[in-house]
Amino acid sequence: MKRHWFIAAVLAACGAFAAATPWTIPDATLGGQIAPQLASLAGLPSGKAASARFTLLPVPRLDISRLALRDAAGAVQLDVERLRGRVRLLPLVGGRIELTELTLFNPRLVYRDDGSADETLRRLATVLTPGDGIFNLPDVERLVMFDGRVEATGAAGGRSVLLDSVQLIAGRGMTRDTYDLDGELAWRGERVKVQSFSLDVAALMEGRPAVTSGRVSGDVGAIDFAGRVTRLPIWDVDGKLSVKTNSLKRLASWLSLPLPMTMEGPVDVQGALRLRDGDASLANAAVVLPSGRLEGALHLKDLRGRGSLSGTLAGDRLDLTEQARVLGALRGADGGWSRDTIDPAMLPSGDVDLRVSAGRVAIGQAVLTNVACSLISRQGKTDFTLGGAEFHKGSLKGRISLAGAPRGFDLKAQASFDRVDTAAALATATDGRRISGIGYGTLQVEASGANAHAVVRSLEGKATLVVRQGDIVGINLPEVLRRMEKRPLSAALDVRGGRTPFELASLSARISRGVMDVQDGSVGSPAARIGFAGQVGLAERVLALSGIAQLVDAPAGREPVTLPFEVTGSFDDPMIVPDARSLMRRSGATSPFIDLRARRPETPVVPAGGDALAPN
């Protein structure tokens, strides 16, 4: 009895050893059955492999080395360095091979990028679709890929790598027809992680709708999508989209999206996506920028061509301080206008039609409220229009047009403001409050050039300014003029302090070649009047104005007291200088010396060793 148990144990051990030992499949079986069945399963008519081994324990497993599959036309070829499949035991007893797990090592898929491979690729995608036959993959629970690659060959024979270093794990989704994917791959020079849930690969390749959700993330950004995808002759996508990136320009370049305008900073866009026939629309969109959040709708047309962007967005608060710093680059290191060439990339490269409104917009210390603006770019011409905004109790509106030119840019600008608090506006712009009152003004200019200095030097146009019911802060002009009746010199030397109220201050000017010619400047008040004229060098940022201040209520029979003055210096450090000769003439102590100098003949010049030379 013991002998029988011993023999049974030996036989069991031998059987276990035999089952656990890999058995090499004969070449005839390999070449005549397994490799062709794999090729037929993949939709490729021919296939061969270098070797194959079958192991029964601990689990039934099939290993194939150097598997090569081809289609008849040579449009698709699939090479796998090693294929490992886990085989179901019960179907194997019945003579049928079914794989529950499939692992591919170093697979290489190469196809011809001329449309001839589309049908073969579609059939190849159905490998994971349930089916019937001697050798099928109806219940593959897990597909693993190590170091995969997808390449495409062009008409000229050149080969490009589409996907590289693919590491992928795919498992059955909620239904037998769908898979959940998780992996990493390199695409267009970027390493990204890819996730997809309940993806019906066969339906997608056959042009049937596939409902799925997924995520692509990497250094370039993150894209999340949930919705319906259909691969027709054109892609049809409908679902919820979320895009986050630190550089929209980099992301658009990676995706080959022809965005007509981009930005370098971080962007977060969400909304309901509708993509069809090269046009994409985003409804219920939310665009989050460092400057604030905007909501509305966006539409991107002609994704296969030049690209055009349109949309309507609205927000509560925007802070454009950082975006406005680009204007600081228009100034050079010496404080003057920059001579560096303006980058043409600052303008949109395609058609743009964006309408934006915001409750509050901050630009440095300036704050605009109830802002409505638009950016329209067509055929190389860009218009930025401020349709209206409230600014320091008044309103602003304006328009700037830019167009490319042989020597840089052509610029046209017009602006107007109405009932603006002048003191508050000047404090915002210059940290000073020299003039107060209610301001009105207009500006119209044209210019051209390749840098800021050239543009300002070429300015042509006109400007007007009116300020009502205001004050000149820092001088009490009527009081200074009254003191000058008695002490001209000492009164003129002490002009600081106090205010000069006025009813109306105005100026009108013409601008030519970067120089503003002030033709008619005046300040009127019940006690004094001021008239001034001159030039303002906009390119050099210098002042050259002269004027006369005069008392209005001078006593009867007396000549009105006047104070000639000049305004000189730079924009950053202007100086108001009284006319010294006029003051000395008015002074009783110094006027005889002025008259004596006027009557004295010039002194002859006597050269060394020669006679005196009489003046001409």
Residues 6+ away with beta carbon under 8 Å from 176:
130, 138, 139
Range with the poorest average pLDDT among 158-172, 353-367, 505-519: 158-172
Q: According to the model, what pLDDT value does residue 385 have?
A: 96
Q: According to the model, what pLDDT value does residue 121 have?
A: 62
Q: According to the model, what pLDDT value does residue 370 have?
A: 96
* Buried b / exposed e along 127-154 (16+ C-beta atoms within 10 A): bbbeeeeebbbbebeebbbeebbbbbbe
Residue-wise pLDDT tens digits, 232-278: 777 889 999 999 999 988 898 898 888 888 777 899 999 999 998 87
Evaluate the omega torsion of the peptide bond into residue 258 and state whether it is cis, within 30 degrees of 0. no
More confidently predicted of 362 and 330:
362
Banded pLDDT at 393 (limits 50, 70, 90): very high
Residue 590 has pLDDT above 60, yes or no: no
497 plus 581 within the same structural domain: yes
Q: According to the model, what pLDDT value does residue 577 have?
A: 74
Residue given tokens 């305008």 in the structure block = 261
% residues pLDDT > 90 (the chain): 33
Q: Summarize the confidence of residues 362-370 as an average pLDDT.
A: 90
30 located within any domain: yes
Q: According to the model, what pLDDT value does residue 507 have?
A: 92
Residue-wise pLDDT tens digits, 482-505: 766 655 555 455 555 678 888 999
Q: What residue numbers bound the domain in which 82 lies? A: 18-172
Cross-strand pairs, 389: 396
Residues 6+ away with beta carbon under 8 Å from 371:
356, 357, 358, 359, 360, 361, 386, 388, 389
104 plus 152 within the same structural domain: yes
552 located within any domain: yes
99 plus 161 within the same structural domain: yes
Banded pLDDT at 432 (limits 50, 70, 90): low
Residue 15 has pLDDT above 60, yes or no: no
Boundary (domain end) residue, out of 130, 145, 172 = 172
580 located within any domain: yes
Banded pLDDT at 476 (limits 50, 70, 90): confident
Boundary (domain end) residue, out of 127, 157, 172 = 172
Residue-wise pLDDT tens digits, 30-87: 445 566 656 655 556 667 777 778 777 777 888 888 888 887 777 888 899 998 888 7
Q: According to the model, what pLDDT value does residue 136 have?
A: 44
Banded pLDDT at 605 (limits 50, 70, 90): very low
111 plus 48 within the same structural domain: yes
Specify the number of domains making up the chain: 3
Q: According to the model, what pLDDT value does residue 135 have?
A: 41
Residue 122 has pLDDT above 80, yes or no: no
Q: Summarize the confidence of residues 224-239 as an average pLDDT.
A: 88
CA distance 322 to 303: 30
Q: According to the model, what pLDDT value does residue 129 have?
A: 55
Q: According to the model, what pLDDT value does residue 44 have?
A: 64
Pairing of β 97-112 and β 135-136 = parallel
Q: According to the model, what pLDDT value does residue 125 have?
A: 60
205 located within any domain: no
152 plus 121 within the same structural domain: yes
Boundary (domain end) residue, out of 138, 172, 206 = 172
Q: According to the model, what pLDDT value does residue 433 have?
A: 66
26 plus 168 within the same structural domain: yes
Ranked by mean pLDDT, which of 245-259, 420-434, 448-462 comes out on top? 448-462
Banded pLDDT at 611 (limits 50, 70, 90): very low
268 located within any domain: no
27 plus 149 within the same structural domain: yes
Residue 554 has pLDDT above 70, yes or no: no
23 plus 166 within the same structural domain: yes
30 plus 153 within the same structural domain: yes
Q: Summarize the confidence of residues 548-570 as an average pLDDT.
A: 76
297 located within any domain: no
Q: According to the model, what pLDDT value does residue 586 have?
A: 53
31 plus 148 within the same structural domain: yes
Q: According to the model, what pLDDT value does residue 566 have?
A: 83
275 located within any domain: no
441 plus 479 within the same structural domain: no
Q: According to the model, what pLDDT value does residue 13 have?
A: 43
Give the mean pLDDT of the chain.
79
Pairing of β 408-421 and β 394-405 = antiparallel
Q: According to the model, what pLDDT value does residue 612 have?
A: 42
> 239 with 227: CB under 8 angstroms?
yes
Q: According to the model, what pLDDT value does residue 582 have?
A: 59
442 plus 547 within the same structural domain: no
pTM for the full model? 0.77
> 302 with 277: CB under 8 angstroms?
no
153 located within any domain: yes
